[in-house]
Amino acid sequence: MRHFLDFEKPIAELQRKLDELRSQPGTPALGISWEEEIRLLEAKIQDAQRQLYSNLTPWQRVQLARHPRRPYSLDYLRRTAFTDFEELHGDRLYSDDRAMVAGFARLGGEKVMVIGTQKGRDTKENILRNFGSAHPEGYRKALRLMKMADKFGLPIVTLIDTAGAYPGIGAEERHIAEAIAVNLREMMTFEVPIIACVIGEGGSGGALGIGVADRVLILENAYYSVISPEGCAAILWKDRTAAPKAAAALKITAADLSSLGLVDDVLPEPLGGAHLDLEATAVTLRQGLLKHLAEVRALTASERLAARYAKFRAFGHFTEPESEAA
């Protein structure tokens, strides 16, 4: 059964009416048929969907990025975009962080090392996965496997979907900031191609900890931000309900990030979001990853390293328009 978000209620109501109409028995002998009414209502739903999803606000896209049915990393790894996924565990220092999944896989026949943050579908799994917020050992596991990939010449693919790294006491005691910082430094030095894709939430340093790449892609309804809209609203306006206002001000949508030059490609989603057609989204993701991997692979190692460094060093450079008063 489809899960509708608050802003999708008009479509939910139309869908309810359609389901009721379909459940009504027709009486052909008396010339009673609901086929025409069903056809008209289906067309009305399609029109309503096109109008709604072509004019989404930044906050509505954030809600789609957090949709409880949205595909997570393992959905792509085990069933669709990748094949032959073999998960590897542990950072060899402390423990295995289940919020960070990683291992060998094939991407369209290409052998790769793939790493992704992973959320849970229910309470039990969310506790296991820590709601997709990795501990220091998660980033150290990712680094261990990225070093392995670099040693054996395997391209690295990362899938980002996290509200942020875990800020708990234990994570701080085990130096979460240092773990992320080391990843940023080391990912800048790997000679193999690195492709990152934000598939849902791209939350702050928790996302960037596996996001230093030659190409950064993003799904159409994903977002990438230094802070959550709720956190921004609480700081600036002392009111978390101002999150929609903050989402617009932060410029965190795929379109905004593309216009600012912070991502290299926006991958389209099915109308209504990735959760409505996992297979179609997986095909788009696989094609996007392979396209950019081929382009990056065509460069020499020294060219890749120089381009990667220049790419991230350019972030934050901007020019202000001249004041009209001046």
**pLDDT for 112-142, tens place per residue?**
999 999 999 999 999 999 999 999 999 999 9
Instruction: Provide the token pair at 212.
Output: 């230093």
Q: What confidence tier does 27 reach under pLDDT thresholds 50, 70, 90?
A: low
**Which pTM value belongs to this model?**
0.90
Nearest to 219 by CA among 81, 52, 105: 81
Q: What whole-number distance in Å separates Cα of residue 209 and Cα of residue 217?
A: 15
Compute how many other C-beta atoms are within 10 angstroms of the C-beta atom of residue 198.
26
Q: Does the structure show a pLDDT above 90 at 7?
A: no
Dihedral angle sign, alpha carbons of residues 5, 50, 201, 262: negative
Angle 169-175-180 from CA coordinates, rounded to 5°: 120
**pLDDT for 255-313, tens place per residue?**
999 999 999 999 999 999 999 999 999 999 999 999 999 999 999 999 999 999 999 99
Compute how many other C-beta atoms are within 10 angstroms of the C-beta atom of residue 143.
21
Nearest to 187 by CA among 317, 315, 312: 312
Find the radius of gyration of the CA atoms of the chain: 22
Residue indicated by tokens 């048929």: 33
Compute how many other C-beta atoms are within 10 angstroms of the C-beta atom of residue 46.
13
